[in-house]
Structure 1
Amino acid sequence: MKKIALVIAVAIASLSSAQAQNAPVSGKPLHFVVGTGLTFGGDKLATAKYTNGGKINVRAGGMVAFVGGIDYRINQQFSVQSTVGFHFDQADANNGNVNFRRYPIELLGYFHPTDKFRFGGGVRYVAGPKLSGSGYGSGIGTDFDNTVGAVVEGEYFFSQNVGLKLRFVKEEYKDSESYMYRGSLRNDKVKGDHVGIFGNFYF
């Protein structure tokens, strides 16, 4: 998991340095967008302990996300974006794993005070949130209810092709049924609130 996070962090940094290499796209209002990012936060769902004494937490707001969708520039000052994504946090070991995955669908609106920066927000519908495990994590698992959250974010454009986003998401998950975690029965709500940094490419 740490290796994945490092690779994505390097990829985001590479996007930031690529502004001189990316020729601006045409002035068309509709663009496709793909992106990836790191997120941090949310309640702890499970803890994986390794034989060397190390441990890692799987959180409701972590940790890696991939998105794709469309971006539409309404006029000089306003735009909208809609994306579908895959968002997950995971702890892996030779004897098993624990992961929390979900599929967010977002609809966002933005105001552009300058050509280089926009800010805005919108709604986020999260489908199929699921905590599961195998091997040492086989006793961990639940299906959470689909949920709706709120997004606030700002985006800086290094060019018309490359943007860097900082965002905050507020959301909450409720487990569909009671589930066992390390011998204890859980039936509660968990907060998935998180902050994130994303690199996006527009084409």
Structure 2
Amino acid sequence: MKKIAFVIALAIASLSSAQAQNGPAPGKQLRFVVGMGLTGGGDKLATAEYKHGGSVDVRAGGLIAFLGGVDYRFSQQFSMQGTVGFHVDQASAKNGDVTFKRFPIELLGYFHPTSNMRIGGGVRYVSSPKLSGSGFGSGIDRDFDSTVGAIVEGEYFFSPNIGLKLRFVKEEYKDSYTYWGQTYTNKTKGDHVGIFGNFYF
């Protein structure tokens, strides 16, 4: 997982080093978008302790996210974007792993103050959030309810096809258990910040 995160970080850095050009062409325009990013934050769900020292936390707001969808430019100043993604945090070793995965669906609206920058926000529906483990992580399994969160973000375009996005997401996960005939609900904060590199085509 650390190797994957390092590769994504390098990819985002390479996007940032591109020559700044004009942003998306104004006027009505429907395009596809794919992206990947790194996120951090949220409550701790589990900790993996390693034999030779050190540990890794799996958090409700981490760590790696992938997305794909469509982006529509209504006018020179307004656009919207809809995506489906995969978001995962994981701690793994030879003797097992712990994984928190979920599938977010997002709908965002934007205002473009300049030709190469936009700010906006929207909603995020997270489907099938699940914490699971194997080996040393056996028995940690938790199935969370699907949830709806809010997003605020800004995106800078280095070219019509390449954007760098910074965001904040506020969301909460709930799961229930029964003890002595009583049902209890756990609440887990999934609030996080993220940086994404997007490619439009």
TM-score normalised to the size of structure 2?
A: 0.92
* 128-137 or 169-178, larger mean C-alpha shift: 169-178
Is the aligned partner of 1:189 residue 2:201?
no
Counterpart of 2:199 in structure 1 is: 201
Counterpart of 2:102 in structure 1 is: 102
Compared CA separation, residues 24 and 114, structure 1 to 2 (3 A): closer
Deviation at 1:187, TM superposition (A): 4.8
CA distance in structure 2 between the aligned counterparts of 1:174 and 1:25, rounded to whole angstroms:
39
Q: Deviations over 1:104-151 (max 9, x none)?
A: 000000000001100000000000000000000002111000000000
What pairs up with 1:1-203 in 2 under 5 angstroms?
Answer: 1-19=1-19, 29-177=29-177, 187-203=185-201
CA distance in structure 2 between the aligned counterparts of 1:102 and 1:110, rounded to whole angstroms:
25
Q: Deviations over 1:3-27 (max 9, x none)?
A: 111110001111222347x998876
Residue 19 of structure 1 contacts residue 162 of structure 1 at CA under 8 Å; is this kept in 2? no
Q: Secondary structure at the match of 1:112?
A: strand
Residue 24 of structure 2 contacts residue 115 of structure 2 at CA under 8 Å; is this kept in 1? no
Amino acid at match of 1:4: I
Compared CA separation, residues 110 and 54, structure 1 to 2 (3 A): same
Moved over 3 A (4+): 22-28, 176-179
CA distance in structure 1 between the aligned counterparts of 2:124 and 2:55, rounded to whole angstroms:
31
| Equivalent pairs, count | 196
Taking only aligned residues, the RMSD between alpha carbons, in angstroms, comes to 2.0
Structure having the larger proportion of residues in strand: 2
Residue 16 of structure 1 contacts residue 162 of structure 1 at CA under 8 Å; is this kept in 2? no
Q: Secondary structure at the match of 1:188?
A: strand
Q: Secondary structure at the match of 1:4?
A: helix
CA distance in structure 2 between the aligned counterparts of 1:193 and 1:24, rounded to whole angstroms:
29
TM-score normalised to the size of structure 1?
A: 0.91
Unaligned runs of 5+ in 1: 180-185
Q: Secondary structure at the match of 2:177?
A: coil
CA distance in structure 1 between the aligned counterparts of 2:99 and 2:60, rounded to whole angstroms:
10
**Identity percentage of aligned residues:** 73
Unaligned runs of 5+ in 2: none
Amino acid at match of 2:193: V
Residue 64 of structure 2 contacts residue 89 of structure 2 at CA under 8 Å; is this kept in 1? yes
Amino acid at match of 1:146: S
